[in-house]
Structure 1
Amino acid sequence: MLYCRNNPTFVIDFSTLFYQIDQETQEKLPRGVVLATYSFKQIKKLMSSLNLGKTGYGMLFSNKGKFIYHPQENIVKEKQSILAFARRKVQKENNEI
């Protein structure tokens, strides 16, 4: 996730390699990269359009388990992982008992 000083908008980049299979060796050969950039506002709009019931909400994670989108923006800004988030939630619930 990036934050631009000139334009105070959080943006999220998604990228992935694409491959071609070599006909002789059946080896996957990298052929290019697909890149898409979304503003946090666009992601929020997309996620809020999901119909997940009265209390459900959408979340996005990186391949390393870091939040890319969560309705509570501070979770994303703090670069929390789903594991750390879950541990804090369980710890908080245990302290309330």
Structure 2
Amino acid sequence: MAETEQALQVHVTGRVQRVGFRAWTQAQAERLGLHGWVRNERDGSVRALIVGPEAAVTAMLLLLREGPRGAVVSDVVTEAVEPGAASPGFAITG
């Protein structure tokens, strides 16, 4: 039985820019078999679309709460979105 696909838009705040957060997020997402995108926001936060099997999405959220070395994550806010909202692969945008 196939696992249910989940899609979340994620907003990460704290010291998350200029620490390699986008590249780290892309690498972790690809390792977990997720697709979507990650981008920097003008306010210094990072936003991502994470799409994939529920267990992999949950694992990614745990990773995002820690972030890469040098990051200080203050908060991770999620919003459920339609799973069809992402292209295959995981891209760094903006």
Instruction: Judge same fold: TM > 0.5, yes or no.
Output: no
Q: TM-score, normalised by structure 2?
A: 0.25
- Structure having the larger proportion of residues in strand: 2
Q: TM-score, normalised by structure 1?
A: 0.24
| Structure of larger gyration radius | 1
> Bigger relative contact order, structure 1 or 2, given CA contacts below 8 A and separation 6+?
2
